[in-house]
Amino acid sequence: MGGGDLYALDFDGVFCDSCGESSLSAVKAAKVRWPWVFEQVDAALEEWIVEQMHTLRPVIETGYENLLLVRLLVEIKIPSVRKSSVADGLSIQDILENWSKLLPTLMDEWQEDRESLVDLFGRVRDDWLENDLSGWIGANRFYPGTADALKLSSSELYIVTTKQSRFTGALLKELAGVDFPSERIYGLGTGPKVKVLQQLQEMPQHQGLTLHFIEDRLATLKNVMKEPALDKWNLYLVKWGYNTQKEREEAGDIPRIQLIDLPDFSKQLK
């Protein structure tokens, strides 16, 4: 097969700023999961929680983690509901720097399991989507120019995301006006991104194409770099997604990773 380009594209933080929706959904789901934790949470504290969730968004890899963050923020503010050993004196900066260590501790101390949290988060979103589609859609936004870049591209495109595929498809259709083929969306449950990239590069129809992977999480790109089998992928970190200035500076020192801004993204997908 001749030349051409294949793009594997993350969704949240590359195309869609879903932080408003995911934070509000997480608060709804956390209230269902731990009603006693929220008995003293008033509207002002809820608003503060949602504000902090925007700051903390870079640490989230998979949606269910939002629920844990919401509960942790409540425990930081209301000592009487504390069941974790880490909440006392914990700052927002501490969470940003140590989330990968805090996450397993919280899961253990709160006796939670990943699957039931994933399921609950999905059900709460489904319920909101079904009963208030315009409200659910309106809590998300596409980054300027990204929907057009998707529509106008002549390259082979795949969405590779930790979001559940049905929500990704709904947002592409309702918010971006793009009927993106569902078989080209690799969402939560399709395996780690490194495995998906390997599958894509091995497909017969993709032989001879130049491979590009565009992400907003530096940690994900580092995981790809650890896999020698994925050496053919060109790696990009977007400057507008859920990453920090510190991560962008670190990426700038890694020769294999290219930093990309919004105007260049639209040109890149061509």
pTM: 0.91
Q: Which residues pair with 5 in a beta bridge?
A: 210
Of 85, 111, 134, the last residue of a domain is 134
Residues 119 and 237 in one domain: no
Query: Rounded distance, CA 11 to CA 56, Å?
Result: 18
Of 69, 101, 134, the last residue of a domain is 134
Residues 147 and 69 in one domain: no
* Residues 212, 8 contacting (CB under 8 angstroms): yes
Residues 157 and 187 in one domain: yes
pLDDT for res 2 = 55
Residue 92, domain extent: 19-134
Residues 12 and 26 in one domain: no
**Number of domains the chain contains:** 2
Residues 160 and 192 in one domain: yes
Query: Rounded distance, CA 99 to CA 128, Å?
Result: 28
Residues 126 and 226 in one domain: no
Residues 169 and 69 in one domain: no
Q: What is the pLDDT of residues 239-259, one digit of tens each?
A: 999 999 999 999 999 999 999
Q: What is the pLDDT of residues 142-165, one digit of tens each?
A: 999 999 999 999 999 999 999 999
Which tokens is 129 given?
A: 């989507």
Residues 146 and 12 in one domain: yes
- Where does the pLDDT of residue 132 fall: very low under 50, low under 70, confident under 90, or very high at 90 and above? very high
Q: Which amino acid is at 48?
A: W
Provide mean pLDDT across the span 210-221: 97
Query: Rounded distance, CA 128 to CA 114, Å?
Result: 21
* Residues 136, 160 contacting (CB under 8 angstroms): no
Q: What is the pLDDT of residues 16-73, one digit of tens each?
A: 999 999 999 999 999 999 999 999 999 999 999 999 999 999 999 999 999 999 999 9
Of 134, 158, 185, the last residue of a domain is 134
Nearest alpha-carbon partner for 214 in 15, 3, 4 = 15
Residue 199 belongs to domain with CATH number: 3.40.50.1000
Residues 164 and 231 in one domain: yes
Residues 174 and 237 in one domain: yes
The two beta strands, 210-215 and 5-9, are parallel
Residues 121 and 160 in one domain: no
Percentage of the chain lying above the pLDDT 90 cut: 97
DSSP notation for 145-205: THHHHHHH--SEEEEE-SS-HHHHHHHHHHTT-----GGGEE-TTS--HHHHHHHHHHSGG
Residues 154 and 258 in one domain: yes
| Residue 209 CA, distance from chain mean position | 27
